[in-house]
Structure 1
C-alpha cells in the first residue's frame, strides 16, 4: 500500500478555492520554497468605514426622520374632542368639508329674484342657507356681488354661521373672500387699502411687502 501523501498547495487551492482565497495564494521564493502572500485588508477597511459612518453626524438625520412620524402623530390629530367629532361624521359630511363654494346674494337667506335664479342654476337651491342645510359644505367664499359694506358683510357671515348651526354642523363654516389686494379688492377703502402683489414686487422693497 503506497504511503499517504499530504495534498500540495496547488491541489488545496483547486479543492478549496474559497479557503485558499481567504488565506492568500502561495508564492515561490527565490530559493524555491513556498511562502504565503499577505492577506488583504479590504474587509477590515470596509468594517472600519461602516463603523465611522454609523458614528458620524450624517447618520443622525435618518434617525430623526424615522422618529418624525411618531412625533407628528402624537402631536397632531389626536385631540380627543376632534377624534370624537370625526368619528361622528358620515363620509359625505367629511367630503363636503373639503369644499368652499361660491353663492349669489348679499345675505344668507336672500330672496332677490336674480340671485335666486343664479343659485338655482348652480345648485338647485335659492340661497346660502338652503345650500348649507342640504349639502353642508365646508364654507362660503365671497366675490364682488356679495359685498356692499363691512356691516352688510358681517351680517352675511353671521347668517351663514346660523345656517350651519341650524343644520347641525359640528364645525363652524369657513368664510373666505376673493381679496388679493390691488385691483382685486372685494372689501375696499377704508377697510382695506394696500397695493397688489405686482406693485409690491415692482418697488423691490421687502419692507413694504412685510
Structure 2
C-alpha cells in the first residue's frame, strides 16, 4: 500500500545518497589528497588514518541505536556527515583535512551501519529480503555513478575538491531528510 511505497521511497533515497557520497569521496581520496599536498605516499597515510576512523563510527552507532533509536541515530550521523563533508571541502591544512576527513569517515560509516539495521526492520517478513536487496541495489547504482562524476566536479572547480564535497554534503542532507521519513522500529516486533 501507500505506507510501503513511502517507506521504500525514503529508504531507497537514503541508500542512494549515502552510497553516492561515500563512493564519490572515498574512491578518489588518495588522489585528492596527493593533489592537495603534493605527495602520493603521504596521501596514502592520510587516507589510512581517515579510513581507520570508520571503526569508532560503527561502534558508536551500534551503541546509540539502542539508546536513541534507529531513525534518530541515522539522522544525526547523516547530519554530522553533511557538516563534515562541507568542512572537508573548505579544509586547507593537513590537520583540518585529517580532522574533518576522520569525522566524515566515522559519521558516514556509522550511518551506514545503522542503515543495515533499519532497512530490513521496516518491511514485513514476506518482503524483507527482496526489499532490503532492492534498497542496497539502489545504493549500488549511486556507488557506480558518483566516482564517475568526480572528474567532472574537479573540472568545474579547477581541480579543487570543494565543489565535489559540497555536492556530497547536500547528498547527506537529502539522505537525512529521507531518513527522518522512516518509521521508528526500535524495540518493536517485526511485522509478519
Considering only CA atoms, is the larger Rg found in Structure 1 or Structure 2? 1
TM-score for the superposition, normalised by structure 1: 0.20
Greater RCO, 1 or 2 (C-alpha within 8 Å, sep 6+): 2
Q: Which is richer in strand?
A: 1
